[in-house]
Structure 1
Amino acid sequence: MATVVNNPPADRSDGNGMGFLLGMIVLVVVLALFFFYGLPMLRQTSAPSAPSEVQVEVPDQINIDVEPAE
Structure 2
Amino acid sequence: MPKAQAAQPLTTPAVSPRLLWTALAVVALMLLLTYLVAFDQGAVSQSGMYLHELMHDGRHLLGVPCH
TM-score w.r.t. length of structure 1: 0.44
More helix by share: 2
User: Normalization by structure 2: what TM-score?
Assistant: 0.45
Name which one, 1 or 2, has greater alpha-carbon Rg: 1
